[in-house]
Amino acid sequence: MIANLFAAPPADSAEEIIEVLLRRPGVRIERIVSTGQASPPGFWYDQDDDEWVLLLRGSANLSVEGEAGVLVLGPGDHIYLAAHRRHRVEWTDGAGPTVWLAVHLAAGRGGEG
């Protein structure tokens, strides 16, 4: 089946939409569509898996533990987050969809480069 990463989200939602595109042992690939959502105040992601994230459309600001300031992401920007590297979404563009591609890997199977 052919699918398109830029296709409209399945339904209008006040919540971020997360679709699993592929799941295999040790790997999960997701399309995430944000429309102005951010992490709740005080909430930090602290995941057991490594994650590589690519911003395809829109814009977002991330805070990542150990980074000096907020990271501003635009189309084409990507970041690798090792397991348990705490991070949070500070802001996503509310004027249009922010589309992410997230690849989750069993810890230690990812890597920078």
Per-residue pLDDT of the chain (113 residues; tens, 9 = 90+): 898 998 877 666 788 999 999 999 999 999 999 999 999 999 999 999 999 999 999 999 999 999 999 999 999 999 999 999 999 999 999 888 999 999 999 987 655 54
Q: How many CA atoms lie within 13 A of 26 on its CB side?
A: 5
25 in Cβ contact with 67 (< 8 Å): no
Is residue 61 within 8 A of residue 18, CB to CB? The reply is: no
Q: What is the pLDDT of residue 47?
A: 96
Q: How far is Cα 71 from Cα 60, in angstroms, rounded to an integer?
A: 8
Provide CATH code, domain 17-105. Answer: 2.60.120.10
Amino acid identity for residue 18 in this structure: I
- Give me the pLDDT at residue 101, please: 98
What's residue 73's pLDDT?
98
Which is nearest to 33 in space by CA: 78, 88, 93? 93
> What is the reported pLDDT for 110?
58
What are the sequence ranges of the domains in the chain? 17-105
Residue type, 55: L
pLDDT at residue 9, as a whole number: 73
